[in-house]
């Protein structure tokens, strides 16, 4: 192994891997790559491709840094099993895929006896981010991050404020934050989809008009990458039929599982994320194509149209996006407390300002909110964001109400509004729930006027 060997190993030259390879070489790093799939095409300039993992590892100078860009799950375990014998104590494996954070912690523990350090790194930005700079969320040993920092910063987006790359804590912290990112992404995509459908059904706009509406909204507080690309989609015509592209795309949505992971972990932490959960459920519901077709014939919706200005749906979308961020950051706060991670919400919001899928004009406001009050228990307590919600509330209610009356489902927008109302609504319905639980199961309840747990000798009722 020559002292002047390659700077970094890269396993996987798929769409993301090839984009990252270009970013690494632009930064002046020499890349030795292994591509496990045949037919990957010519190697990018400045990248040497090896036919087996030991040869690739031998081409790296110590400590060897190997970036894995392979499909999450079993393929990662298989690749680590094949790669580990070619590595030495002090070497670093960087998993840049969408791994579950618990898998990341397991893999780190398995490699530790060999002295191999493991970084679980969330990389967000898709194909564009891989080419132009991504948001990089790293977890694992701090000294391993320091030793691999040049690699990670080479693939990160940057602006005058610096690189969108940070170490977020030990173990699976980086992949956990990426999971939260993806959960917020699910909710934002769902809310934007609902806005499109509502504008189409309730205002009669066609896709070209909705694209123009989205472009207009994108100039204000709602400005976001996802809204921008939604407008691009709506401006696109299918070359084969001449129809708007959405008219020929099947609406049974797929999902990678990261949204479900987030909802599950939020439930484990006791954090309600109903808007994200509704977005995950909406994708599953969309796949129920036979049931949907049958019910559309047997019990069609009302189809009633209520005249409403497009601005009402802009307000509903703005409120829903703010709530989606708030739910995600609430999960981050709870996880940091549970797992002892030094994750700062301001750092995460700053990381997401550029390069990632959920980048938006709201994120600098969110970062500023946590900078002003690092102990903010929930994002909606920030004066500026609360003022935005207050300004959007009337239109938001009108939009959700019109959709309900017209038989149009808006699960993300509706659940976001209900979550917001429940948090600020004083006493809720749960006193009755607690009483019923005590009646049928003697589960006891707390009282408002004295400490302790209590049980009532309820009437039999028969």
- Of the candidates 141, 171, 201, which is a domain's last residue? 171
Same domain, 318 and 240: yes
User: So what's the pLDDT on residue 304?
Assistant: 63
The token pair that represents 252 in the structure block: 């049974």
Mean predicted confidence (pLDDT) in 322-334? 98
What percentage of the chain exceeds 90 in pLDDT?
82
Active site residue 178: yes
Q: What is the DSSP track for 201-262?
A: HHS---HHHHHHHHHHHTTTTT-BHHHHHHHHHHT-B-TTT-SBGGGSS-------SHHHHH
Helix ranges, 59-139 (H): 74-83, 101-111, 126-132
| Predicted confidence (pLDDT) at residue 38 exceeds the cutoff of 60 | no
373 belongs to a structural domain? yes
User: So what's the pLDDT on residue 277?
Assistant: 98
User: So what's the pLDDT on residue 143?
Assistant: 97
- Of the candidates 140, 171, 202, which is a domain's last residue? 171
Same domain, 363 and 406: yes
Distance of CA 56 to the CA centre of its chain: 33
User: So what's the pLDDT on residue 3?
Assistant: 53
User: So what's the pLDDT on residue 1?
Assistant: 44
pLDDT band at 303 (very low <50, low <70, confident <90, very high): low
| Predicted confidence (pLDDT) at residue 40 exceeds the cutoff of 60 | no
Domain ranges, residue 460 = 429-462
Instruction: Return the percent helix, strand and coil in the chain, to nearest 5.
Output: 55, 10, 35
C-alpha to C-alpha distance for 289 and 253, rounded to whole angstroms: 11
Q: Are 175 and 99 in contact (CB under 8 A)?
A: yes
Mean predicted confidence (pLDDT) in 90-94? 98
Same domain, 322 and 218: yes
The token pair that represents 395 in the structure block: 């239109």
pLDDT band at 72 (very low <50, low <70, confident <90, very high): confident
Mean predicted confidence (pLDDT) in 399-405? 93
pLDDT band at 37 (very low <50, low <70, confident <90, very high): low
User: So what's the pLDDT on residue 184?
Assistant: 98
User: So what's the pLDDT on residue 256?
Assistant: 76
User: So what's the pLDDT on residue 46?
Assistant: 81
Same domain, 184 and 49: no
Active site residue 290: no
| pLDDT one-digit tens code per residue, 154-163 | 999 999 989 9
User: Which helix (DSSP H) or strand (DSSP E) does residue 152 occupy?
Assistant: helix 142-154
Q: How many structural domains does the chain have?
A: 3
3 belongs to a structural domain? no
Q: State the catalytic residue, choosing from 178, 194, 278, 354.
A: 178
Q: Are 355 and 135 in contact (CB under 8 A)?
A: yes
Same domain, 139 and 273: no
Mean predicted confidence (pLDDT) in 290-309? 81
175-179, 257-261, 313-317: least confident range: 257-261
2 belongs to a structural domain? no
C-alpha to C-alpha distance for 450 and 452, rounded to whole angstroms: 7
Distance of CA 79 to the CA centre of its chain: 25
User: Which helix (DSSP H) or strand (DSSP E) does residue 94 occupy?
Assistant: strand 92-95
Same domain, 144 and 41: yes
CATH assignment at residue 91: 3.40.50.720
Mean predicted confidence (pLDDT) in 212-222? 97
User: So what's the pLDDT on residue 130?
Assistant: 83
- Of the candidates 139, 171, 203, which is a domain's last residue? 171
CA quadruple 125, 350, 419, 302: dihedral positive or negative?
negative
Same domain, 295 and 417: yes
Mean pLDDT comparison of 12-16, 258-262, 392-396, highest-scoring range: 392-396
What percentage of the chain exceeds 70 in pLDDT?
96
pLDDT band at 300 (very low <50, low <70, confident <90, very high): confident
| Predicted confidence (pLDDT) at residue 170 exceeds the cutoff of 80 | yes
Give me the phi and psi of 253, to 5 degrees please: -80, 150
C-alpha to C-alpha distance for 305 and 445, rounded to whole angstroms: 46
Q: State the catalytic residue, choosing from 185, 194, 265, 278.
A: 185
| Predicted confidence (pLDDT) at residue 298 exceeds the cutoff of 60 | yes
Residue 249: exposed, middle, or buried by beta-carbon count in 10 A (0-12, 13-18, 19+)? exposed
Mean predicted confidence (pLDDT) in 59-65? 96
| Predicted confidence (pLDDT) at residue 192 exceeds the cutoff of 90 | yes
User: So what's the pLDDT on residue 42?
Assistant: 65
User: Does residue 442 come out as left (phi exceeding 0), alpha (psi in the -120 to 50 range) or beta?
Assistant: left
Q: Are 66 and 116 in contact (CB under 8 A)?
A: no
Mean predicted confidence (pLDDT) in 61-78? 94
User: So what's the pLDDT on residue 45?
Assistant: 79
Angle at 245 between CA 240 and CA 247, to 5 degrees: 100
How does the average pLDDT of the chain come out, rounded? 93
The token pair that represents 274 in the structure block: 């109903």
pLDDT band at 13 (very low <50, low <70, confident <90, very high): confident
């Amino acid at each position: 192994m020559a002292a002047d060997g390659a700077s970094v190993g890269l396993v996987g030259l798929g769409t993301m891997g090839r984009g990252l390879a270009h970013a690494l070489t632009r930064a002046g790093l020499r890349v030795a790559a292994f591509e496990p799939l045949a037919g990957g095409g010519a190697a990018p300039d400045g990248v040497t491709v090896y036919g087996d993992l030991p040869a690739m590892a031998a081409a790296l100078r110590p400590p060897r840094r190997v970036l894995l860009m392979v499909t999450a799950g079993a393929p990662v375990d298989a690749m680590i099993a094949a790669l580990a014998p070619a590595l030495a104590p002090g070497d670093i494996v960087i998993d840049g895929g969408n791994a579950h954070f618990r898998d990341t912690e397991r893999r780190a523990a398995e490699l530790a006896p060999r002295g191999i350090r493991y970084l679980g790194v969330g990389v967000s930005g898709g194909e564009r981010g891989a080419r132009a700079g991504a948001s990089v969320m790293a977890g694992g040993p701090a000294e391993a991050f320091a030793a691999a920092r040049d690699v990670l910063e080479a693939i990160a987006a940057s602006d005058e404020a610096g690189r969108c790359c940070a170490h977020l804590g030990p173990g699976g912290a980086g992949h956990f934050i990426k999971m939260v990112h993806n959960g917020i992404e699910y909710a934002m995509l769902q809310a934007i989809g609902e806005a499109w459908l509502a504008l189409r059904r309730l205002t009669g706009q066609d896709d070209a008009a909705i694209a123009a509406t989205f472009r207009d909204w994108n100039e204000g507080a709602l400005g976001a990458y996802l809204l921008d690309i939604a407008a691009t989609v709506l401006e696109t015509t299918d070359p084969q039929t001449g129809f708007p592209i959405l008219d020929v795309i099947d609406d049974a949505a797929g999902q990678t599982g990261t949204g479900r992971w987030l909802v599950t972990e939020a439930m484990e932490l006791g954090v309600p994320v109903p808007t994200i959960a509704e977005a995950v459920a909406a994708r599953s519901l969309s796949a129920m194509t036979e049931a949907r077709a049958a019910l559309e014939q047997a019990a069609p919706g009302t189809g009633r149209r209520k005249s409403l200005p497009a601005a009402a749906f802009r307000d509903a979308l703005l409120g829903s996006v703010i709530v989606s961020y708030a739910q995600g950051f609430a999960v981050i706060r709870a996880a940091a407390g549970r797992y002892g991670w030094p994750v700062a919400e301001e750092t995460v919001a700053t990381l997401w300002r550029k390069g990632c899928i959920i980048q938006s004009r709201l994120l600098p406001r969110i970062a500023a909110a946590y900078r002003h009050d690092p102990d903010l228990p929930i994002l909606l307590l920030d004066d500026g964001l609360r003022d935005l919600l207050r300004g959007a509330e009337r239109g938001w209610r009108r939009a959700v109400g019109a959709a309900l009356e017209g038989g149009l489902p808006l699960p993300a927008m509706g659940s976001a509004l209900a979550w917001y109302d429940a948090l600020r609504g004083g006493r809720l319905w749960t006193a009755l729930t607690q009483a019923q639980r005590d009646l049928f199961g003697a589960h006891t309840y707390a009282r408002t006027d004295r400490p302790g747990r209590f049980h009532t000798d309820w009437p039999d009722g028969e």
